Structure 1
Amino acid sequence: MNLQSKIEYSIALLRKCEQMALDYDPDNGFYLAFSGGKDSQVLYHLAVMAGVKFKAHMNLTSIDPPDVIRFVKRNYPDVELIKPKMSIYDMALKKHIIPTRTMRWCCAEFKEMSGAGKVTLIGIRKAESVRRSKREEIEISSHKFSGNFDQFSEHKEQMVTCVGGKDKILVSPIIHWTDRDVWDFLNGNKIEHCSLYDEGYKRIGCILCPMSNYKDKRKDCQRFPHVKRKWIQTIQKLIDAGYINHNFTDAEFGFNWWISDKGFDKYYADEVLQQKIEFNE
């Protein structure tokens, strides 16, 4: 399928789902999850092209690249910026754990609850990862359904009545798009992108995201030293409070171990088994 066909398919999907979005939120229609990254930009512009009703929201985490926030404010002033009630550092102290690759509580706390009870547009794509390759164009966040629009339509009444206050119907209009499709769409329509991509960043999400590779984390440390400093301070507080009992020489050593490929995952897994730490207090 060529790019034009994918654009037409995505727009058709948005139009098919619009009434469902209006049923849940007559005033705003779709809840569009926006990040300032290339995929969410495509999602936003497709929604405009489709002529559907939507409201875009960007959930901040307190470790968002300043460049991204400035870009969004300048180019997408209608996007609602939602500030967190608690910084990610304070949340780590509350949970007694910093986020890791296998325990990404940060996504659940700062991102995934947004759009609850609504039809939410997201910019995920199968080509992004093995995990996302298993995702489908329409899903219910509680995993009660995952499939295409026609399959969803067959069971729509049953599915929709299953959606509770914390659930949401997820619609992924660009699920079948490739990286090249995304860039061809933006460049072909002369849509400006965030300058971090021009500096070599492949993704421009949270600074020092646990899912980033070591090379990108080292780059983040150099470009955003204030975030490195805050995490070191947080790790020191966790050490002082006795929640990190590993034999660290100091908090900076602990930080360097955290961003390494080894990270805290195995250590924390052992801690959970030994101490039955509750991470969702």
Structure 2
Amino acid sequence: MEHIALSFNGGKDCTALMHLVRAALHKHNTARGRPTTALVSFCVLYKKPFPEVDCFVKSSVGRYSLGLVEKSGSMQQGLQAFKDDHPEVQAIFVGTRRDDPYGDKLDFFSPTDAGWPQFMRVNPILDWTFDDVWGFIHGAAVPYCSLYDHGYTSLGDVETTVRNPALLKDGVYQPAWSLANGCLERSGRSASSSSQPSGSLDVFAASN
């Protein structure tokens, strides 16, 4: 278990993934009579994060005993700092889906790109859809960030993220899972936040 980590930034996709990974590890360890220790989770901080996201991440750390490691700077800088601090970690679970920018270029197991700190990116929910994620969250009664109740469908920096205009009905923003067309999931994100190069925050951390 010391060789794996989880990319967790409070978004819906990595929240669903976190529960799947924790359940799998618990089953694996229980079958072998081993205790389940804290899951190391990795997060590169946004320059201007939503307070609601920050609050949700911190509450999740306490609720699920996550060994959260927060790094500042770019994703590449954050990954290098994480690798320097945790050289034993070889693979990182990531909540990327094929619908994410550049997600269609990934496999379930994809090494980081050349020139990046070397990890194996493990993408268990790669083939999940927007509706699949919300179906799992609601079906398993998984707590999630409150912003999704108020018209946000994809979360990033405060300066690059707004409520999804497709959810505005009669002057009121509907919750994220009300989005009829999953292709519009990122309509609340600026173009700059949706055009990152391969290996970047969206491909690595799936901040949705």
TM exceeding 0.5: yes
Report the CA distance shift for 1:142/1:134 in structure 2 as closer, same or farther (over 3 A): closer
Provide the alpha-carbon RMSD of the alignment: 3.2
Q: Alignment partner for residue 130 of structure 2, among 166, 179, 184?
A: 179
Contact kept? 1:33, 1:57, Cα under 8 Å:
yes
Contact kept? 1:213, 1:261, Cα under 8 Å:
no
Report the CA distance shift for 1:169/1:36 in structure 2 as closer, same or farther (over 3 A): same
**CA deviation profile, 1:165-218 (whole Å, cap 9, x unmatched):** 921111101001111110000100111211111111111122224xx68988xx
Match of 1:30 in 2: 4
1:126 aligns with 2:114: no
Using the alignment, how far apart are the partners of 1:177 and 1:123 within structure 2?
Answer: 10
SS in 1 for 2:48: coil
Using the alignment, how far apart are the partners of 2:150 and 2:157 within structure 1?
Answer: 16
Q: Alignment partner for residue 110 of structure 2, among 139, 151, 157?
A: 139
SS in 1 for 2:40: strand
1:207 aligns with 2:207: no
Match of 1:229 in 2: none
Contact kept? 2:44, 2:71, Cα under 8 Å:
yes
Report the CA distance shift for 1:122/1:114 in structure 2 as closer, same or farther (over 3 A): farther
Q: Alignment partner for residue 60 of structure 2, among 47, 54, 75?
A: 75
Contact kept? 2:152, 2:162, Cα under 8 Å:
no
Deviation at 1:81, TM superposition (A): 4.5
Deviation at 1:83, TM superposition (A): 4.4
Match of 1:49 in 2: 23
Contact kept? 1:29, 1:55, Cα under 8 Å:
no
Using the alignment, how far apart are the partners of 1:134 and 1:57 within structure 2?
Answer: 22
Find runs of 4+ consecutive structure 1 residues off by over 6 angstroms.
213-216, 259-262
Report percent identity of matched pairs: 27
TM alignment of 1:184-199, pairs within 5 A: 184-199=135-150
Q: Which has the higher contact order (CA 8 A, sep 6+)?
A: 2
Using the alignment, how far apart are the partners of 1:123 and 1:49 within structure 2?
Answer: 15
Letter of the 1:127 partner, please give it.
D
**CA deviation profile, 1:48-72 (whole Å, cap 9, x unmatched):** 1112674122221331111101112
Using the alignment, how far apart are the partners of 1:182 and 1:213 within structure 2?
Answer: 20
Report the CA distance shift for 1:50/1:114 in structure 2 as closer, same or farther (over 3 A): farther
Unaligned runs of 5+ in 1: 1-21, 23-27, 89-105, 144-163, 217-258, 263-281
Deviation at 1:31, TM superposition (A): 1.2
Using the alignment, how far apart are the partners of 1:41 and 1:174 within structure 2?
Answer: 11
Unaligned runs of 5+ in 2: 29-35, 166-188, 193-208
SS in 2 for 1:31: strand
Structure whose residues are more often helix by fraction: 1
Q: How many residue pairs end up in the alignment? A: 151
Structure whose residues are more often strand by fraction: 2
Using the alignment, how far apart are the partners of 2:133 and 2:163 within structure 1?
Answer: 26
Letter of the 1:108 partner, please give it.
Q
Using the alignment, how far apart are the partners of 2:164 and 2:129 within structure 1?
Answer: 24
**CA deviation profile, 1:93-147 (whole Å, cap 9, x unmatched):** xxxxxxxxxxxxx44344x446545211111000234x2122111111135xxxx
Using the alignment, how far apart are the partners of 2:132 and 2:100 within structure 1?
Answer: 13
Contact kept? 1:115, 1:168, Cα under 8 Å:
no
